[in-house]
Structure 1
Amino acid sequence: MFSKGYESQCAAVKLHCTDAGEHRRRALTLFSLALGSFCIGTSEFASMGILQLFSESLNVDISSATNAITAYAIGVVIGAPFVTLAAARMNRRSLLLGLMVLLVFGNLLSGLAANIGMFAAARFISGLPQGAYFGAGAVVASYIVGPGHGGKAFSLVMSGLTVATIFGSPLATFLGQSLGWRNTYLAVAGLGVVSLLSLWFWVPRTSSLDGGPIKQELAGLRKASVWATMLVAAVGVASIFAVYTFIGPLVTDVVNFNSGWIPVALALFGLGMTAGNLIGGRLADSYPALGIVVGFGSAIVVLALVGFLGSAPVVLFPGLFLIGATMMTAIPTIQVRLTRFAPESPALMGAMNLAALNVANAVGAWSGSLTIAAGMGLLSAVWAGSALTLVGLIIFGLTLFRAPRLAPAR
């Protein structure tokens, strides 16, 4: 009797240890995915914080320097579908490793660029892996967290990018201000090597993560509802980038603070994005449309407030937090809608979501630079973003009448 009780206790302990070990392995996998997206986010958003530094160093004005930011966005837009489709049959683990190598290479070139043309080309290369990374990462995360939690899975991968806006981008900006902007990109390349190693050790080697036929992935692009959702993202989310691109000048030239406050402003924006991402991940799985309506609608109100009163620090700094929070609330819902409209193309839908968001990046940066170049002032970029989000919300309202009705995830 004692022996049987002892054996039962041993079996229970063994099961507990097995469960604990499996939980730890899953946590490390999700961490490695988030670390990769942290590198990508730092690479992308750091450019906004050091915009004034590399524009001066490369002898171009602010408006022209934003072309390098736009080049990165174009790299994402082109790379998302083409890299994803070219690697459709690859195991997602192998694909993630290859994409991280490309990210490291692009950032090394960025740090060594001799002129604005070379720099823009390096930023284009750096952007190529982003969309495919998030597409493959979302597939791996969904495999780890299980079915019915697509919004949570995507928000976990996105969490690295949003945390990059809290810590990565401000630290990269501080590094650029202290040691030169080139060292910012060299540091990102070094961090990319660390991410590469974490993906190598912690993403599981399993045939369950094998890719599929290109034809299967392409099937999702034949659906009008997919393109409509991407249009909503490309237009509606542009306000984030219309504001974020010009955070440095907003801090130094609008509220007349010294450049040491730029990392603080970037961190506040990032805190808002992280909070919005967490809220949006929960909303996306339970309510198929609410995240976009709440996110876009509240963002328009905040943007108008900053547009009117943003010259006051007491408005600008909290406003940056709220802009990040409201807009990020919508993004997991966009991802969930895409994958539910085209469940046969999960990797491509994740990549195309990032492509749409980087169209938003290009559109937002372009619209802000256009109004600023026209002499309307730096706060005109905020109004440009507000108009784009309003248009995105209107488009989304129109698509609800034509898109297939989606039920909450179970």
Structure 2
Amino acid sequence: MPLALLALAIGAFGIGTTEFVIMGLLPEVASDFGVSIPTAGLLVTGYALGVMFGAPLMTALGTRISRKRMLMLLMGLFIAGNLLSALAPVFSVMLIGRVVASLAHGAFFGIGSVVAAELVAPEKRAGAIAMMFTGLTVANVVGVPLGTLVGQSAGWRVTFGVVAGLGVVGLVGIARLVPELPRPQGVHLRHEMAALKNAQVLLAMAMTVLGFGGVFAAVTYIAPMMTRVAGFSEGSVTWLLVLFGLGMVAGNLVGGKFADRALMPMLYVSLSALAVVLALFTLTAHDKVAAAVTIVLIGALGFATVPPLQKRVLDQAHGAPTLASALNIGAFNLGNALSAWLGGIVIAAGFGYTAPNWVGAVLAAGALVLAILSAALERRDSTAGTSLAAAPVEQPTPVRH
């Protein structure tokens, strides 16, 4: 694999760390600024909304410059946002810093996916995308726990300062290692927007919302589920999340490898298995060992869908994949927000802390249905195209004089 993929993975590691580390530092941040935990939770919500709206906005702004230069600008934005968070004198300034950093998230992964795919041969593209996303998955295993530990011992501002430093490393890596790939000729914002009229692109994004949403329906409420149902101590939640992160790393690599060989079958297997495992989590959540194993499987099966879905969007968007790719990253965050909301509804309705697992299973099953529908439509269109190509051309009848 090209060294340029390492630079992209480092940037992804920093972005993944800053996205999730705030969850473990909310009490410290709330205490320092004198705000409530729910108010501090706006730092999570604001980041997610920034990703959703920032993905199309930043991608549109970057249509007139090279992808390498845009990636460098996005890392600069990421660095500025984290520095602003680290130095924020009041809560509102930190919230602005979080939003500024989040604006780089969707566009970085969207444009980075396109660059990663262009750096390798066509049959290795899903693997290259998975290599970049490895930075995000490793962040959940290493970056988030270490960032939380540093924040709790040395102060949360130090954590965000270190994350900004990771951004600097990523920026230098991109500047030194990513080649200046030529921009496709004749591709402008209207061409990028036109790709969104493709039903297959929209179906892939819908699969992303439902499939990964299924994962976050369970993971969002993993702390109360594991402490109040499985019987783990509160201190055990950290290493359970590390197990989840390890599953994500493994699933990402396996998904990238097999998506290059058989993309749709990979989606069928991972989504169907994910739906089954999420449903079983309702039962295994009552046993510590079974719960820990299930958490690893959810991480692995959930992230096994990421490289094939991202590649599916790139393939179906044809000559204008950048905006569609970035929007698909926003779709992940939309799925996270939707599933967390639905999971909260079933808990509030009195169905218990394991009820979000059923929500996740239904969402994953819905993604599987969409995958089957997408493949069926593709086969129909392919058959129709073949029939038209094979149809004999009627010769005009000669005119007799």
Q: Identify whether the pair has TM-score above 0.5, normalized to the shorter chain.
A: yes
Which of the numbers 352, 360, 363 marks the counterpart of 1:388? 363
Residues 240 and 385, structure 1, Cα contact 8 Å, conserved in 2: yes
Aligned in 2, Cα 1:173/1:249: closer, same or farther, shift over 3 Å?
A: farther
Contact 1:81–1:348 (CA under 8 A) maintained in structure 2: yes
Counterpart selection for 1:241 from 209, 213, 216: 216
Q: Determine helix, strand or coil for the equivalent of 2:304.
A: helix
Q: Distance in 1 between matches of 2:185 and 2:70?
A: 10
1:60 aligns with 2:46: no
1:100 pairs with 2:75:
yes
State how far apart, in whole Å, the 2-side matches of 1:51 and 1:393 are: 35
Shift of 1:357: 0.9
* Higher mean C-alpha deviation, range 140-149 or range 96-105: 140-149
> Cα distance 1:171–1:245, how it changes in 2: closer, same or farther (>3 A)?
farther
What are the equivalent positions in structure 2 for 1:66-215 lying under 5 Å apart? 66-113=41-88, 119-207=94-182, 212-215=187-190
Equivalent of 2:238, from 263, 282, 286? 263
Say if 1:48 and 1:244, in contact at 8 Å, map to a contact too: no
When residues 376 and 185 of structure 1 are mapped into structure 2, their CA distance, relative to the original with a 3 A threshold, is farther
Deviation at 1:128, TM superposition (A): 1.3
Gaps of 5+ in 1: 1-25
- Cα 1:291–1:50 change in 2 (3 A) is farther
Identity of aligned residues (%): 38
Matches of 2:265 and 2:103 in 1, distance apart? Answer: 31
Give the 3-state SS of the residue equivalent to 1:88 in structure 2.
helix
> What is residue 278 of structure 1 aligned with on the other side?
253
Query: Aligned letter for 2:64?
Result: R
Q: CA deviation at 1:324?
A: 0.6
User: 1:118 deviation in Å?
Assistant: 5.0
> In the aligned structure 2, how far is the partner of 1:117 from the partner of 1:377?
35
Q: What per-residue deviation string (whole Å, max 9, x for no partner) do you get for residues 2-44 of structure 1?
A: xxxxxxxxxxxxxxxxxxxxxxxx6421110110111111111
Structure 1 position 150, deviation (Å): 2.2
Q: Distance in 1 between matches of 2:305 and 2:380?
A: 18
Aligned to 1:3: none
Counterpart residue type for residue 195 of structure 2: G
TM-score (norm 1): 0.84
- For the 8 Å contact 2:21–2:148, the answer to whether it is kept is yes
| Shift of residue 220, structure 1, vs aligned partner | 0.8
Q: Tell me the residue number matched to 1:232.
A: 207
1:348 to 323, 330, 333: 323
SS at match of 1:145: coil
Q: Cα RMSD over matched residues? A: 2.7
- Give, in whole Å, the separation in 2 of the partners of 1:307 and 1:278: 27
How far, CA to CA, are the matches of 1:283 and 1:166 in structure 2? Answer: 23
Alpha-carbon distance between aligned partners in 2 of 1:382 and 1:117, rounded to the nearest angstrom: 35
Q: Give secondary structure in 2 for the equivalent of 1:237.
A: helix
SS at the partner of 1:228?
Answer: helix
* Offset at residue 113 of structure 1 (A): 5.0
- The alpha carbon displacement at 1:314 in A equals 0.8
Offset at residue 135 of structure 1 (A): 2.0
Alpha-carbon distance in structure 2 between the residues aligned to 1:110 and 1:247:
27
Structure 1 counterpart of 2:294, which letter?
A: G
Question: Secondary structure in 2 aligned to 1:345?
Answer: coil
Kindly indicate whether the alpha-carbon contact (under 8 Å) linking 1:233 and 1:334 is maintained by their aligned counterparts in 2. yes
TM-score by length of 2: 0.85
Q: Which residue number in structure 2 is paired with residue 19 of structure 1?
A: none
Q: Distance in 2 between matches of 1:189 and 1:99?
A: 13
The alignment covers a number of residue pairs equal to: 381
Q: 1:399 to 1:140 in 2, by over 3 A?
A: closer
**How many angstroms apart in 2 are the aligned matches of 1:127 and 1:109?**
12
